[in-house]
Structure 1
Amino acid sequence: MGLLSNRVDKESLKPGDHIYSWRTAYIYSHHGIYVGNNEVIHFTRHGQEVGTGTVLDLLLVSSGPARRHQVPCPTCTPPEGGHGVVSSCLNCFLAGGILYRFEYSVSSALFLAKARGGTCTLAVSDPNEIVVHRATYLLNNGFGCYNVFKNNCEDFAIYCKTGLLVIDQGTIGRSGQAVSIIGGPLAAVLSTPLRLVTTNIYGMAATAVGVYCASRFAADIGMRKDVAKVEVEDLTRRLATGLIQVIEPGTIILPPGPPPDH
């Protein structure tokens, strides 16, 4: 992998890798966890979904394996229970696209050099066996309601890799590519008041880029303060009943549950 691309060969994949492939004219990418034996576990829009109320609901239809043929793939597991977490073979996951591997523990300089979000993070990945366990557990138990901005395929993969969730009044936080989608227009809006300081088009463009990069950096899961490490078994139980609460950034309250089995 290089500075401009995270492209990798299939032969280099290891169980626990976070992989992705661009869809819909590079507007959006679909993410998943490679668990070995040509299998990818990923979060799709097949389950219960919360819409954005915007045109993105029509554009971002790429989460899920392609259905180009009427004959089902013999190696893929059909969705069960309508929760959206599915198992697909690598070819169906890629849907004819190119294979990329998401990078973890990148330096600040490399993170900022990757102008497009959804390709890397400053956060540290957990050991691969833990990553595979989380993905497999969520395959059987679900990952909540799909939402483009708050709970999407990249959020799923990042959680599997790190165990970290952005907790905000019971909802899961934004992914890197979601920040990129809204970050460009937001940067332009935030930099507009600076026209009173300079009317130079190049200065305004540089300011907008700076605001965009700063917003991406601050929103990265590896930099945010409003995150918590949540065990996967606890996540599915508490998320289903809405028992995750926030009292201040970085602090969550998990109401008492049944005593642990001994």
Structure 2
Amino acid sequence: MGLLSNRVARESLKPGDHIYSWRTAYVYAHHGIYIGDDRVIHFTRRGQEVGTGTVLDLLLVSSGPAQSPEPCPTCTPPEEGSGVVSSCLNCFLAGGVLYRFGYAVSPALFLAKARGGTCTLASSEPEDIVVHRAKYLYENGFGCYNVFKNNCKDFAIYCKTGLLVLDQGTIGHSGQTVSIIGGPLAAVLSTPLRLVTTNVYGMAATAVGVYCASRYAADVGMRRDVTKISVEDLTSRLAVGLLQVIEPQVAPNLSH
């Protein structure tokens, strides 16, 4: 994985890879799990990732299979109410560039990334387990889509690690929105430093530092409120609304 880019060639993909493609001029990325044979399983808001009721609706676009006048001959339209879909690689990319998400990266590399949402400190599990989780969730669902708390990145990271952040029954919290609003938020948080310095370069450096710190703290490999849960247990609890009774546990060796 490069320092500046995670871009990869299609030929290098292998089953179990967490892949993504940027949307809306690099504002937001859509994530999924490559399962082989040119297929990707990914989590959508039934084909639409908009609908947050916030200004983000002006920025986020559909992450579902690419819409075209002619239906894709290899993709089956998703069932009504099903957020986890299976698409061919072309439909998943929707004309975008292919990138591979990094796992078990060093803290130095994580912080060196100018843009969040491209790697994690957490370690990935074996590819057969990753593919099993993705296929199982394709058949059984991953709960209700929420761009802030339970999105495509949460889905892909769970498939790769088995880790979830649980907050009053709401799964996910991968921190993808930190990469969207983190920059502006960092600038706001650094505003009080104008009382100390009026140097624009100093304020900019502080804003970047706050942004990096927020990404680091939100990473699933660093958080203390994560739980490791089997995919079978996850879907059974989702069905009866019992996620809130799971006690967060600190999983060992989340990162290097």
Q: Provide the TM-score with structure 1 as the length reference.
A: 0.90
Contact 1:32 1:153 in 2 (8 A): yes
Look up the SS of the partner of 2:68 in the other structure.
coil
The equivalent residue for 1:44 is 44
3-state secondary structure, aligned to 2:119: coil
Match of 1:26 in 2: 26
Deviation per CA, 1:146-197: give whole Å up to 9, x if none: 1111111111100000010011111123234311112112212221122222
1:226 alignment counterpart = 225
Bigger mean CA offset, 39-48 vs 15-24: 39-48
Residue 208 of structure 1 is matched in structure 2 by: 207
CA distance 1:182–1:93, change in 2 (3 Å)? same
Alignment deviations for residues 2-41 of structure 1 (CA, whole Å, 9 cap, x no partner): 1101011111110000001111111111110000111100
Give the partner amino acid of 1:13.
L
Pair 1:161–1:109, CA change in 2 (3 A): same
d(CA) in 1 for partners of 2:131, 2:76: 17
Instruction: Give 3-state SS (helix, strand or coil) of 1:156's partner.
Output: helix
Q: Point out where structure 1 has 5 or more consecutive residues left out of the alignment.
A: 252-262
- Following superposition, the deviation at residue 205 of structure 1 comes to 1.0
What does the per-residue CA deviation read over 1:190-234, in whole Å, with 9 as the maximum and x for residues that have no partner?
A: 211222221211111111111110000010010000100011111
> In structure 2, do the counterparts of structure 1 residues 97 and 248 end up closer, same or farther at CA, with 3 Å as the change threshold?
same
Contact 2:21-2:31 at 8 Å conserved across structures: yes
Corresponding residue for residue 148 of structure 2: 149
Q: Which amino acid aligns with 2:167?
A: D
SS of structure 2 residue aligned to 1:186: helix
Distance, in Å, in 2 between the alignment partners of 1:224 and 1:86 is 29
Give the partner amino acid of 2:237: R
In structure 2, what is the Cα distance between the partners aligned to 1:47 and 1:242? 24
How far apart, in 1, do the equivalents of 2:83 and 2:17 lie? 20
- What residue is the counterpart of 1:188 in the other structure? 187
- For residue 166 of structure 2, give the secondary structure of its aligned residue in structure 1: strand
User: Which is worse superposed, 60-69 or 24-33?
Assistant: 60-69
With normalisation by structure 2, the TM-score equals 0.92
- Following superposition, the deviation at residue 77 of structure 1 comes to 2.4
Which sits farther off after the overlay, 11-20 or 171-180? Answer: 171-180
What CA RMSD, in Å, does the superposition of the two structures yield over aligned residues? 1.9
1:1-262 alignment to 2 at 5 Å? 1-46=1-46, 51-69=51-69, 71-245=70-244, 250=249
Percent identical residues: 83
Q: What SS does the aligned partner of 2:190 have?
A: helix
Compared with structure 1, are the counterparts of its residues 8 and 42 closer, same or farther at alpha carbon in structure 2 (3 Å cutoff)? same
Contact 1:83 1:144 in 2 (8 A): no
Q: Which runs of 4+ in 1 moved over 4 A?
A: 47-51, 246-249
Kept in 2, the 8 Å contact 1:40–1:87? The answer is yes
Amino acid at match of 1:233: E
Whether the 8 Å CA contact 1:18–1:157 is kept in 2: the answer is: yes
Encode CA deviations 1:92-136: one digit per residue, 9 max, x unaligned: 111111111001000001101112111100000010000000000
2 CA distance for matches of 1:197 and 1:247? 45
* 3-state SS, counterpart of residue 204 of structure 1: helix
Read off the aligned partner of 2:15 and give its amino acid letter: P
Structure 2: runs of 5 or more not aligned: 251-256
